Structure 1
Amino acid sequence: MNRRLAALVLAATTVFTFVPMASAQSTPTLSNIRTGQHAGFNRVVLDMSGLPAEHRVREVAGVANCGSGDPISMPGSTEILEVVLIGAAAHDDNGNPTYTGSRNLAPPGLDNVRRVAFTCDFEATLGIAVGYGNASSWHRVFTLTNPNRVVIDIGQ
């Protein structure tokens, strides 16, 4: 009878193995926003810890905060380009901000880009709006590595 009881206890006992969680950030994060004046275009650079899974680009008449729905002011902008990074954030896995700069900035020294603003930082979706003054401007958005960054060019 003791053998049966010991076998039953052994069979009912579950063994837990501790598996440490990965220390790497699971979602690429924004660390800095840089801007620059170039011959024929203005550049906005989003410095990232990794690259987003994809990005979507569209011209919009206005932008709003994705969480509250409150409109975001884009003074001086006659055109707005919204760039949505899927699989990216401006905070780490614990909710701590990885980007601590302004969330609605007027970049100095640019002749066309008037405003760069956050539209979203929720559930691995990071939205950035770039407001500019010249309605006939072209734009392009692409990623680069070493270091990882998303580049937004707005023609003059």
Structure 2
Amino acid sequence: MKKLPAWLAVLLLVLGLGLVAPSTASAAPYCGITWGSQAKTKSLMVQSPIINVRSGRHACFDRLVVDLKGKAPGYTVRYVKTVHAEGSGKAIPLRGAADLSITVRAPAYNSAGKATYVPKNRKELVNLAGYRTFRQAAWGGSFEGVTTIGLGVRARLPFRVFTLKGQNNVSMLVIDVAHRW
């Protein structure tokens, strides 16, 4: 049998390794998200006032958290064509290709009618610069024990909603929106 030239042997070895070598992993982690994009609802009505709205970034999703003093509230979170303000019904313009309406069945005021949460900027509740999915969180108001927040997102993506009990009688309504399907 004839001996192959060294350069051809190296070439065949490189090509052979290319065929059997595993592909490189993508930079995005595998998240296994199965949440879906349909409305999520819990009908409980509470008088626990909203005290804060905050956000966070995670490897697979962006998170919005509504803090309440007392029991966890009921909610409806769903994609809509337009988010409307409580009381007036006025449209709330949001950046992004999809709008999530977050209706919290809790007031943003106490039993004496004094506000417990007043956003510094109604159009920008939290700084979302650098987020992969969130584009804007806007205040929709609080009326007759119901509060609305509009969340503009990059696209109609899967989301989940749940409540947590924190410390010092604080509960949290958590909305996670996935970075991708």
For the superposition of Structure 1 and Structure 2, which TM-score range results when normalised by the shorter chain? 0.7 to 0.9
* Cα drift, residue 55 of structure 1: 1.2
Preserved contact between residue 37 and residue 109 of structure 1 (Cα < 8 Å): no
* Cα drift, residue 114 of structure 1: 0.7
1:133 corresponding residue in structure 2: 154
2:90 corresponding residue in structure 1: 70
* Cα drift, residue 53 of structure 1: 4.3
Structure 2 stretches of 5 or more lacking a match? 1-45
RMSD after superposition: 1.7
Deviation string 1:23-42 (CA, Å, 9 cap, x unpaired) is xxx81111111111100100
Give the distance between the partners of 2:54 and 2:86, measured in 1 at CA: 23
Q: Bigger shift: 56-65 or 97-106?
A: 97-106
Pair 1:151 & 2:174 matched: yes
Structure 2 vs 1, CA of residues 132 and 60 (structure 1 numbering), >3 Å: closer, same or farther?
same
Q: TM-score, length-normalised on structure 2? A: 0.65
Preserved contact between residue 51 and residue 143 of structure 1 (Cα < 8 Å): no
Structure 2 vs 1, CA of residues 32 and 53 (structure 1 numbering), >3 Å: closer, same or farther?
closer
Preserved contact between residue 73 and residue 173 of structure 2 (Cα < 8 Å): no
Give the distance between the partners of 1:111 and 1:53, measured in 2 at CA: 27
Give the distance between the partners of 1:59 and 1:37, measured in 2 at CA: 21
Residues 25-36 of structure 1 correspond to what in structure 2 (within 5 A)?
A: 27-36=47-56
1:104 paired residue among 115, 123, 129: 123
2:110 paired residue among 85, 92, 95: 92
2:59 corresponding residue in structure 1: 39
Give the distance between the partners of 1:97 and 1:108, measured in 2 at CA: 28
Structure 2 vs 1, CA of residues 52 and 120 (structure 1 numbering), >3 Å: closer, same or farther?
farther
Identical residues among aligned pairs (%): 31
Give the distance between the partners of 1:121 and 1:34, measured in 2 at CA: 17
Structure 2 vs 1, CA of residues 144 and 57 (structure 1 numbering), >3 Å: closer, same or farther?
same
Deviation string 1:79-124 (CA, Å, 9 cap, x unpaired) is 11112122x1111122221112232215233121011122241111
Q: TM-score, length-normalised on structure 1? A: 0.74
